[in-house]
Structure 1
Amino acid sequence: MKNTLMKWLLIGLVLSGCNHVTQSPPAQPMPVQEIAQPQEVEPEQMAIVYGPAVPPKKRMVPAAPLSNGLNPKRIEIPSIDLHAVVEPVGVLANGQMDVPKAFDHVGILSPWTKPGMKGNAVMAGHFDHYTGPAIFYNLRKLQAGDHIKILEETGKHLTFEVKRVVSYKNNEAPIEEIFGTSDKAHLNLITCAGKFNKKKQEHARRLVVFSELVQEENVQLEKAQ
């Protein structure tokens, strides 16, 4: 299953949703995309790395992958005050990763690597819509050292630490690094970035938050066999 999905993802863009409208626009839509990108960023740059590394608020250490990952129901990112429902999404016929219809929900690629397991779990969300910012609008404010919490319905949770935040031109995003194999437990968050092209109805770039599973010192997690 993964091999088949990987082939589709290599053909398509990193995610859809950036150029798919799920509701009709109002008579005079607000052009939030005009203020979405920092002024100092040049659109022709191949890859843009956001924010300096900052010391984590708690002493966290890398954690070994788990034998069974979580079935996420919620995502929380305290540094940008993000709290959202997580729902499974698949791959569209054109090879693009889908996103939730609701602008305040986050989608996790499924079936795929679960958060906490060895490999790359991938979540996607909308950047904006016709009336203002959507759930992943502030991802570009994240910095290395920030924490992402993924929660199950049972209350069990995992913490991932942001390693870097990078935006790429649409056709230059590193698909293998985002979706491919890894010996570590990674969680990658994806959304749109850059200027909005009204003719193509899409943003110029894709933004990716790369993070890794961590734990507080002296806390033992179930390791993968």
Structure 2
Amino acid sequence: MALTIPAIELHTTHLVELGLTPERRLEAPREWQAVGWYARGAAPGQTGPAVLAGHLDSVDGPAVFHRLGGLRPGDRASVRRADGTSAEFTVYAVESHPKDAFPTDSVYEDTRQPELRLITCGGGFDAATGHYTDNVIVYARLAAEHDRQGTPSG
């Protein structure tokens, strides 16, 4: 798989599967430059929300989603799937929420169409805990699908 978001100059093929922690929260990718896909949910392009998460930064500098909060409605994100086909999504909302008020229902609830959720940290950095105070969540809807040759399908 690969994720490309031209508006923030992001292209990565470093995608990993994520599950839940014992507290039933989404795991974070272990590597700073990896994007994690919640494997128990929808795959990108399937009906429902496909959830992808990545880090904002690391002790060495910016991480894979360091510019995610700069996305705006109308921006595009494309996911190339393991079978060589791709799904292109259009951003319709970018939100920031305190971590203790994470909008679980709006992120994970079923949708009637394929959607994408991109999640990273945001807000202020709490030096006492070593974590950011907020989460940035990007919401996007399927705009197009392409076959292995890049030809629109469907």
TM-score by length of 1: 0.63
Give the fraction of aligned pairs with identical amino acids, expressed as a percent. Answer: 29
**1: distance between equivalents of 2:91 and 2:141?**
7
Match of 1:164 in 2: 93
If asked which structure has higher relative contact order (CA below 8 Å, sep 6+), I would say 1
Distance 2:153 2:61 in 1: 42
Cα-to-partner distance string for 1:23-47 (whole Å, 9 max, x where unaligned): xxxxxxxxxxxxxxxxxxxxxxxxx
Distance 1:205 1:176 in 2: 17
2:24 counterpart of 1:95:
yes
Structure 2 CA distance for aligned equivalents of residues 157 and 89 of structure 1: 20
Q: Deviations over 1:45-83 (max 9, x none)?
A: xxxxxxxxxxxxxxxxxxxxxxxxxxxx11010111101
Once residues 153 and 180 of structure 1 are traced to their aligned partners in structure 2, the CA distance between those partners, rounded to angstroms, is: 25
1:186 aligns with: 115
* CA displacement at 1:220 relative to structure 2: 4.2
Aligned partner of 2:7: which letter? S
Q: Which consecutive residues of structure 1, in runs of 5 or more, have no partner in the other structure?
A: 1-72
- Separation of aligned partners in 1, 2:144 and 2:80: 14
Partner of 1:197: 126
Q: Are 1:122 and 2:51 an aligned pair? A: yes
SS at match of 1:188: strand
Normalised by the length of structure 2, the TM-score is 0.90
Cα deviation for residue 173 of structure 1 reads 2.1
Q: What secondary structure does 1:211 align onto? A: strand
Moved over 4 A (4+): none
Which amino acid in the other structure matches residue 173 of structure 1? F
User: Partners in 1 of 2:37 and 2:63 — Cα distance?
Assistant: 16
For 1:132, give the aligned amino acid.
G
Q: Which has the larger radius of gyration?
A: 1
CA separation in 2, counterparts of 1:102 and 1:149? 21
Match of 2:7 in 1: 79
Q: Superposition pairs for residues 141-156 of structure 1, below 5 Å?
A: 141-156=70-85
What is the one-letter code of the residue matched to 1:151?
Answer: R
Tell me the CA shift for residue 108 of structure 1. 0.3
SS across alignment from 1:116: coil
Distance (whole Å) between structure 1 residues aligned to residue 144 and residue 87 of structure 2:
8
Instruction: Find the counterpart in structure 2 of residue 11 from structure 1.
Output: none
Supply the distance in 2 between the matched residues of 1:152 and 1:119 (Cα, whole angstroms): 16
- Paired residues, number: 147
SS at match of 2:107: helix
Question: CA-atom RMSD, angstroms?
Answer: 1.3
